[in-house]
Amino acid sequence: MSTSAEPTTAPAADEPPVVTFRDLGLGEPVLKALSDVGYETPSAIQAATIPTLLGGRDVVGLAQTGTGKTAAFALPILDRLDLTQKTPQALVLAPTRELALQVCEAFEKYAARTKGVHVLPVYGGQGYGVQLSALRRGVHVIVGTPGRIMDHLDKGTLDLSELKYLVLDEADEMLKMGFAEDVETILADTPDTKQVALFSATMPAAIRRMSKQYLNDPEEITVASKTTTSSTITQRYLIVSYQQKIDALTRILEVENFEAMIVFARTKSATEEVAEKLRARGYSAAAINGDVAQIQRERTVNQLKSGKLDILVATDVAARGLDVERISHVVNFDISTDTESYVHRIGRTGRAGRTGDAISFVTPRERGLVNAIERATRQPLTQMQLPSVDEVNVTRLSRFDDGITAALGETERIDRFRDIVAHYVRHHDVPEVDVAAALAVVAQGETPLLLEPDPEPRARAPREDRFDRGDRDRGDRGDRGFDRGDRPDRRPRNPNMTTYRIAVGKRHRVEPRQIVGALANEGGLSRGDFGAIQIRPDFSLVELPNDLPQSTLDRLSDTRISGKAIEIRVDTGGPSRRPREGGNDRFDRDDRPPRKPRHRDGA
Ligand code: AMP
């Protein structure tokens, strides 16, 4: 393989050699599944963690969502499962039902080529029946929230006596949600011989202590980062949901003054899909990835160099070493899983002394990666907003003008048309400007010149009126946050929500996250089901969907927070009708239902 024949893959001097999943020691079925899902190379956390776990050592990994940590622990587990063992071999603890389900899906995806692997999600809110019958049939991997796993252990319905692998995913989140005790009990009550992998985005003292006490000489893995971004590259990021990415990219293509662009996607299939969608929208775009034959890749890169092609959609591997001066912009359609790959990617622009632009799409859950990149590159990333319809239209109009100006410069061709147009004007008695407009219609075809205005945005609370739940909670579902408790009244803003009252408040030292944790896990609610939460001195108000089934309410009524039964009921706005424990009447009197919105601190 000569270097000259491989212009797109030959690593530049500043790039390390490519490590493959095969190099990490994974077996065939898992490798096949990875090839099916289109991962080309391991992310940094995967490259560091997988061999260690395969070698049998415990791991403490400092990694957040978006780094590929799920595969980092799931792949070595799947690789070593004994499919003849009936009792559970691997247990993954996750802070929320949402994450537990995601991890389950990931396991299933990676196990697609391993026949007969059974993975079971176990979380509060789901009926015990389903879980019990699955457990009886035999499962290999359990992914669950600590509360429900503890319930099964207490009931004797879960046998962890032969557990081989235990993973604590998002350990810091689990502690924040009040699961420390449950997690420690599970750690202590499972075989000493098990291998433990603990992943956490931060390393507070409690986690350090836990890992010292329960892990056996763990290898600490923090992905080292390279710090050589060029200051001639302007770095921006856009918070965007997965579904909005293509629209966001097309708007950026409209308003950015780019010459040539590389768009990075995580998987081979994503490169094809994005390139296809861009072509459908009239851009000259092509995909390169590990599956594209070398000769075709070279042809594509040459087209980019010569200006026949403007947009290349690539995976990391396919774009290694790419050196094309025309590349003015790099767009991370999927943000890099680690800072090192980020640095390599954006180094594809700003070549040969030019300036460059890098724009990264970041989903709300991946927000933490921006800080990691800033820390590693020691350069700030500026948050940008999605270009508005007005901005797009202004650019379209100025391009339209530029088109006319450029055509007027082609004097010979203009001369030939001038007589034809003049003839039309004379014979049809139409003003010249109308004829020009008619010609524009012909030139424009069916596609409208200007974008329609965006629909009115949903009325929402101002940003600072909301309790910040952290990245994961904002989710891709829209930005629903929690009030800090300073709402003037108790009516939910959203007509689909009902305000419930629970009998724990400031006096019981509860915090919104505990309420969410408890209700989500016990009621089987997703975090997106929560509206505003107001914590009052003696009770709290929680907005939940109107249509909560009675069975959910029944389950919730048994829930305890900080040891106290929550006695959930629909809030009528009035003082508690139940006999209260002594001494707290004065708080409730203070909390009479408002006749009209009041502006006072709810506490
Ligand atoms: P996680 O940090 O585990 O939540 O993973 C973040 C995203 O990266 C998920 O969408 C994974 O499917 C994807 N991903 C994980 N590992 C790789 C890889 N080696 N190559 C491409 N994508 C990956």
Give residue-wise pLDDT tens across range 303-326. 999 999 999 999 988 887 677 888
Q: Which residue has the higher pLDDT, 500 or 484?
A: 500
Same fold, 233-387 and 462-570: no
CA of 401 to the centre of ligand 1 (A): 44
Percentage above 90 pLDDT, the chain: 42
What are the boundaries of each domain within the chain?
22-222, 233-387, 390-444, 462-570
Work out the pLDDT band at 505, boundaries 50, 70, 90: confident
**pLDDT(69) > 80:** yes
For 549, phi then psi, to 5°, come to -65, 155
Residue 455 pLDDT: 62
Q: Is residue 152 in contact with ligand 1, taking CB distance under 6 Å?
A: no
**pLDDT(354) > 70:** no
The number of C-alpha atoms within 13 Å of 168 and in the hemisphere containing its C-beta is: 31
Residue 46 pLDDT: 94
**pLDDT(496) > 50:** yes
CA of 364 to the centre of ligand 1 (A): 15
Architecture of domain 233-387: 3-Layer(aba) Sandwich (3.40)
Residue type at 192? Answer: D
Q: What is the mean pLDDT of residues 481-496?
A: 51
Q: Is residue 266 in contact with ligand 1, taking CB distance under 6 Å?
A: yes
The Cα 487–Cα 598 span in angstroms is 9
The Cα 333–Cα 311 span in angstroms is 13
Residue 47 pLDDT: 94
Fold classification of 462-570 (topology level): Alpha-Beta Plaits (3.30.70)
* Nearest ligand 1 atom to alpha carbon 39: 20
| Nearest Cα to Cα of residue 595 among 477, 482, 489, 503 | 489
Residue 231 pLDDT: 56
Work out the pLDDT band at 203, boundaries 50, 70, 90: confident
In contact, 198 and 59? CB cutoff 8 Å? yes
Work out the pLDDT band at 585, boundaries 50, 70, 90: very low
Burial class (CB in 10 A: 0-12, 13-18, 19+), 299: middle
**pLDDT(53) > 60:** yes
Residue 471 pLDDT: 29
CA of 68 to the centre of ligand 1 (A): 4
Architecture of domain 22-222: 3-Layer(aba) Sandwich (3.40)
Report the predicted TM-score, pTM, of the whole model to 2 decimal places: 0.55
Residue 519 pLDDT: 87
The Cα 309–Cα 491 span in angstroms is 56
* Nearest ligand 1 atom to alpha carbon 66: 2
pLDDT digits (tens, 9 = 90+) for 396-438: 887 888 889 889 988 889 998 999 999 999 999 889 999 999 9
pLDDT digits (tens, 9 = 90+) for 148-157: 999 999 989 9
Residue 486 pLDDT: 34
Residue 535 pLDDT: 76
Mean pLDDT of the chain: 81
Q: Is residue 65 in contact with ligand 1, taking CB distance under 6 Å?
A: yes
Work out the pLDDT band at 15, boundaries 50, 70, 90: low
Q: Is residue 147 in contact with ligand 1, taking CB distance under 6 Å?
A: no
Q: Is residue 268 in contact with ligand 1, taking CB distance under 6 Å?
A: no
**pLDDT(111) > 80:** yes
Work out the pLDDT band at 474, boundaries 50, 70, 90: very low
pLDDT digits (tens, 9 = 90+) for 206-257: 899 999 999 999 999 987 544 445 557 888 999 999 899 999 999 999 888 8
Residue 492 pLDDT: 66
**pLDDT(142) > 90:** yes
Which of 152-166, 436-450, 502-516 has the highest average model confidence (pLDDT)?
Answer: 152-166
Q: Is residue 9 in contact with ligand 1, taking CB distance under 6 Å?
A: no
Residue whose CA lies nearest to ligand 1 atom number 13: 68
* Nearest ligand 1 atom to alpha carbon 63: 2
CA of 66 to the centre of ligand 1 (A): 6
Helices assigned H by DSSP within 506-589 = 512-523, 550-557, 585-589
